[in-house]
Structure 1
């Protein structure tokens, strides 16, 4: 039986950053998660419903239906974020999941909070969509030359070799 896949993303100022990175991961890495969890800071939580709808639509285009859930964290609450993200990652790992985290859209407190468990618990993927010029547009409308999907865990593994 193939390993279950989990995808964690961090909602900051840009809903497009969440959706575009997810789309890039589907297209470029063929990473189709069974479950998606969105950690959002309270100030940006109003975008959750439209982001979930967008992630569902993108998933359906690739003919799969992940479970999608979310957690709202107070703005700049680094300690709670470390605890909640760490608990989520531990639980997913205990269930035998491969875990990917997208740090692209998160603000620094959430990203920092996510990287601690990601490194400690050796996540399979840390995705980051580097975009030369921030454009609030769908992934396919941004020139490929202006964006690059990176997997920091993959890159770190090459450095260690």
Structure 2
């Protein structure tokens, strides 16, 4: 099975995804690692990605998902997956792919992104959050975690485990 943890930058996808993977004893993968250098450079320069920029990134992640599933690996993948058509591509057809949506307010996401250091490997400047929220199509089929609520990560993980019967 592959669980895709999605949301805008600052929602906590990597942190939550790592914790969920560790709790499940699964592998963790970060969608940022699938970006082409040109896309990373564009984001570092505060230029939002468009669908043409995202298409090869999505295909690389889809190929990763196919490989993991073919090898019988269970993986938690953190990636924005902001649009429904992106999620359809990532899910494929009749495959064990589930989504966990980290819902966050623009205010909290901005605060978190501003608190990051570029040296920590983050290349998403706060200026691009507005375009991410404009692009975001909230998923209809996903476990929703409200990141604005003050819950422990262990409670959030328990919510996911319960919802996905894990």
Shorter-chain TM-score: what band?
0.3 to 0.5
Q: Normalised by the size of structure 1, how large is the TM-score?
A: 0.45
Q: Normalised by the size of structure 2, how large is the TM-score?
A: 0.44
Higher relative CO (Cα under 8 Å, sequence separation at least 6) belongs to 2
**Greater strand proportion:** 1
